[in-house]
Amino acid sequence: MADLNDPIVDDPSWWRNAVVYQVYVRSFADSDGDGIGDLPGITSRLPYLRDLGVDALWITPFYTSPQRDHGYDVADYTDVDPLFGALGDADTLIETAHELDLRVIVDLVPNHTSDEHPWFKAALAAGPGSPERARFMFREGSGPDGSLPPNNWESVFGGPAWTRVEDPSTGSGQRAQWYLHLFDSTQPDLDWRNPEVGDMFEDVLRFWLDKGVDGFRVDVAHGLYKEESLRDQVVKAGERPTSGQVNTDHSMVSRELNDEPMWDQPEVHEVYRRWHDVLDSVGDDRMAVAEAWTQTPESMAAFVRPDELDQAFNFAWLLADWSAESFREVVVDTLAAVAPVGASPTWVLSNHDVVRHATRYGGGEQGLARARAATLAMLALPGSSYLYQGEELGLEQVDVAPEDRQDPSWFRTGEVGRDGCRVPIPWGGDSAPFGFGPGDAQPWIPQPDEFKGLTVEAQTGVKGSTLEFYRAALAARRAHALPAGDEVTLVEANGDLLELHRGDLRVLLNCGSTDVPLPAGRVLASSGPVTDVLPGDTCVWLG
């Protein structure tokens, strides 16, 4: 049933203003008691998302996969892993979401497959020089006997980006080859210069479009093509080669301009022009959003030119320090970057790869106050906001015990990894599994006791709870931010105060610790209590 108050549902460019909720499938809701979230679990919780007030959900990969990188290692792009259900469950999820006026974005992983993908198995069996190997990046090693990797590239998950295979053909005098994996060794990179690869992904896009999905989140969209020479990365004196994407502990770092022959090659844009046509051929309301860790706002904007993808995650907002000046700079740069190509900006504070923002901002009461304030400021901005499951409950990064860690980067580097933001959602009850699954079935990462006060059940209807704050903020966004147009004016910087105006809406974010007088006006939303002053670490919308 279309909601007449909803300006987005009937808009073919719905994504331009959408709030998209990221579902990390393993950790959202478990319907069958195996401790792992699944598609029927998501379907059963769709009414919750509708009531929260989001417009769409993005679901992380649920395809057939050995789960070495929790689904980002795909063995069959057009089937559902039995862990998560069956294809019919995907159909039911999409249909139910649409009945509730929620759009569905699925994840597409085109940079690499799983090492259990039939193509990679065939490549290993076929040996050097075969057409099967030509779908991946197999190369001879360097050094006199080929026993060193072909170049100095590092995996994003740590260690060399190359693994040498046990080659059946080495008995015949040929040397064993190496294959490239910019992520885990179980995630071999495809060779996008081989036309078979592009054709295969066009089929995958069409398969899911036929199933009714509304869009795609394109994993590692800046990958795909590598500089053809596969030359060494030029590294600054005294530094090690770096993948340039995330820190080894998977907290994000600001990116300096690096030499990156493995990322963001000009040829990749041809792929997105082709996909644009595929999406268009199905309907003008289908979209794609890029996960592209590019080095500058301009190179990010290249992915969202009118004939390419529709949006790109804007990680600058997530990387910004807690300061009015940083937020201000990101808003100005982002709007300036997307304006020339006519794309809508995006904003995100948390996802399944980074430390949750309440923890990044210091944790505890202050971290949560800042997280809520940054969220409210974000929701005022034109464009789309991407939320990550559990942030609406004020969840923090969990300190997962070493024996419970499962992130492949933990196994490659011994660094903590990303498990702490992937702990299953607490829905209700007083003890684990907090309603995540039926009965006492314990989730795949243990939940901490502190989840007790943070469950959906414990926060629903409770004034001042983070969940009720998100509901109110999303309702206020529909009522006051969306109708206010897309023009943003940043008021001259004033110490710790970020002030921006969007039409009649005035947004004040106090990043300092001292109260500032609240200007006259009606309070439309606030991230915490306000009186005639705006306390530190608080955001308010005035009408």
Instruction: Write out the catalytic residue numbers.
Output: 219, 291
317 alpha-carbon distance from chain centroid: 13
133 alpha-carbon distance from chain centroid: 31
Among candidate residues 377, 385, 376, 323, the one with its CA nearest the CA of residue 350: 385
Neighbouring CB atoms inside 10 A of 194's CB total 15
Asked if 219 is part of the footprint of ligand GLC (rule: CB under 6 A), the reply reads: yes
Q: How far is the CB of 117 from ligand GLC (least distance, A)?
A: 13
Closer residue to ligand GLC, CB minimum distance, 188 or 437: 188
Asked if 221 is part of the footprint of ligand GLC (rule: CB under 6 A), the reply reads: no
Closer residue to ligand GLC, CB minimum distance, 291 or 496: 291
Q: What single-letter amino acid sits at 17?
A: N
Give the three-state DSSP class for 538: strand
Q: How far is the CB of 49 from ligand GLC (least distance, A)?
A: 21
Interatomic CA distance for residues 107 and 465, integer angstroms: 31
CA-based radius of gyration for the chain: 23
Contacting ligand GLC within 179-208 (CB under 6 A)? 183
List beta partners, residue 497: 494, 510
Closer residue to ligand GLC, CB minimum distance, 154 or 353: 353
Interatomic CA distance for residues 475 and 34, integer angstroms: 35
Which one among 353, 391, 419, 499 touches ligand GLC, defined by CB under 6 A?
353
Return the residue matching tokens 């942030």.
Answer: 391
Q: How far is the CB of 114 from ligand GLC (least distance, A)?
A: 10
Asked if 69 is part of the footprint of ligand GLC (rule: CB under 6 A), the reply reads: yes
Asked if 220 is part of the footprint of ligand GLC (rule: CB under 6 A), the reply reads: yes
Closer residue to ligand GLC, CB minimum distance, 69 or 154: 69
Asked if 55 is part of the footprint of ligand GLC (rule: CB under 6 A), the reply reads: no
Neighbouring CB atoms inside 10 A of 210's CB total 9
Among candidate residues 62, 161, 28, 117, the one with its CA nearest the CA of residue 445: 28
Structure tokens at 532: 């005639």
Closer residue to ligand GLC, CB minimum distance, 186 or 459: 186
When CB distances to ligand GLC are compared, the closest residue is 72
Q: Terminus-to-terminus CA distance in the chain, angstroms?
A: 31
Asked if 289 is part of the footprint of ligand GLC (rule: CB under 6 A), the reply reads: no
Contacting ligand GLC within 125-184 (CB under 6 A)? 183
Q: How far is the CB of 387 from ligand GLC (least distance, A)?
A: 15
Which one among 21, 24, 58, 72 touches ligand GLC, defined by CB under 6 A?
72
Interatomic CA distance for residues 137 and 543, integer angstroms: 56
Closer residue to ligand GLC, CB minimum distance, 183 or 434: 183
Where do contacts with ligand GLC occur on this chain (CB under 6 A)?
Answer: 69, 72, 109, 183, 219-220, 291, 352-353
